[in-house]
Amino acid sequence: MITLHGCDERKSTWDRLNAITSRLAAKDPTLWGEAARDEAAIRLGWVDLPDRSRDLLPILDALSAWSREMGHTNVILCGMGGSSLAPEVIAATYQKSLTVLDSTDPSQIELAADVDLTKSCIIVGSKSGSTIETASQKSYFYQRLTDLGLDPKNHFVIVTDPHSPLDAKSREEGLKVVNADPNVGGRFSALSAYGLTPAALIGVDVSVLLDDAHDAAATFTEVDSVVVRMAALLSEKGYAFTGFYDRGSHVPGIADWIEQLIAESTGKDGKGVLPVVVETPSSELYPVIGFTQEHTLAVLGPLGAQFIFWEWVTALLSYLLNVDPFNQPNVTESKDRTHALLQSWSQEGIVRHKPSLSTEFIEVFASSTLNSLAEYLRALSAPEYIAIMAYVNRISDTALGEIRAVIERKRNRPTTFGWGPRFLHSTGQFHKGGPATGGFIQITTESENALPIPGKDFGFETLLMAQALGDNQALSSRGLPVIRIHLKNRNAGIAELIKAVKEI
């Protein structure tokens, strides 16, 4: 069950939502308007997953038995967006070991692969398999296994939609495949095969997640239910930026999952609610939602219930904002720009631009010329919020995370921090489709080693840079203020950047 602390009455909005909860439970695709109807018609499978996903239980039991028979002690998940964030929350909540690879940074990929692959199970989660990050990761591990003389059939598990290109290819290769419900989008997929397959393979009893989700969902169509009250709250102007604080809770990491769910679902048509994942339980700039009883505004309940609760809240919030919660047009735009850059570089070579500022360890690329990095950070135009987008190794470069709170405090603007390219499947949609009120700080770095992608004429280091510059183009084309800070030396550059941030 889910309970709320500190959710005040907003009766008129509650009544609007009370009138449609039964329609959402019945998977009515007309809720979000005629323009969204066709997409919604094929994206509402998540509503009854707490019941229908029970059909997966015997499949997952057999898969777990196979993995034990193979002697797997390491589980690596290759995926992006919701297909990786939900399993990461599940692993953290149940204190299980799971390596999540949601990056194209060569050092992070090499770190994930720095295990005994003879004892590793590699899960690839992708609806189509055409997502460039996941397809490249699969090719990399397939080649690594082959080079070691290992049979990929003993190490891969593929989670994908039925009849997708990845489904067909994987079956040809003799790999184990779990088909997911094709009528569930990635960010609503926590209780589908995308979330439950990794959970089962690391030893989590997924039936508990489903039981808790079922019990919670049974209350959502009641008058003034918890989903109605929370969606109404988030629709208010004062919650346009909302902090989420999960430290010390029994659902660690859920703030990151909620961030991608709400930001990518609502951030379009110049509208949206932007979640801010925070390190402290309160903020002077925006309200903060927590997950313990000690918090003034809190959502309490087990993980399975949390998953279905926030999915319902997001769908209802999108109704109030009058946006389609299931499309992500600007995520596709960044993918297209990345592809165009890779094609251009393949034919003409990578174009090196002249930096606006260069020091021993960093370069700054911006539309103006200033004397120091601190000046650039002070001068960045940010009408309402700042987004930090770090295309580095989120496992080993964690020191960068401390700059979010410092910049937020010194610039007096809500500030988000996203690891690239992961955030492109999350807040990246909001950046380009939501209110045009952000200022953007990109962080890129030199890769110490080239890491080839099997079957491609470019490596992961090139792909990562193309993703950063493609998104830079997308932001700049809208006239949004963006600066790129390039670390010529990763460790020394991070230290210089942190120092500059403190001097703002």
Digit-coded pLDDT (tens) for 47-76: 999 999 999 999 999 999 999 999 999 999
Is residue 229 included in any domain, yes or no? no
Q: Total domain count for the chain?
A: 2
Domain, as residue range, for 85: 49-209
Boundary of a domain, candidates 174, 209, 244: 209
Boundary of a domain, candidates 187, 209, 231: 209
Is residue 297 included in any domain, yes or no? no
Is residue 283 included in any domain, yes or no? no
Which has more pLDDT, 190 or 81?
A: 190
Torsion sign across C-alpha atoms 458, 464, 465, 467:
positive
Looking at every residue in the chain, the average pLDDT score rounds to 96
What's the average model confidence in pLDDT over 355-361?
97
Cα torsion for 201, 211, 307, 170, to the nearest 10°?
A: 30
| The two structure tokens encoding residue 407 | 């910049």
Is residue 148 included in any domain, yes or no? yes
Residue 372 pLDDT > 80? yes
Cβ–Cβ contacts within 10 Å for residue 174, how many? 11
Is residue 298 included in any domain, yes or no? no
Residue 129 pLDDT > 90? no
Q: Do 496 and 367 sit in the same domain of this protein? A: yes
Give CA–CA dist 422/451, Å, rounded.
19
Is residue 271 included in any domain, yes or no? no
What's the average model confidence in pLDDT over 369-392?
97
Specify whether the backbone of 361 is left (phi greater than 0), alpha (psi in -120 to 50) or beta.
Answer: alpha
Boundary of a domain, candidates 209, 236, 270: 209
Q: Do 339 and 192 sit in the same domain of this protein? A: no
Give CA–CA dist 286/273, Å, rounded.
12
Residue 498 pLDDT > 90? yes
Is residue 306 included in any domain, yes or no? no
Q: What pLDDT score does 1 carry?
A: 63
CATH of the domain at 390: 3.40.50.10490
Q: What pLDDT score does 6 carry?
A: 67
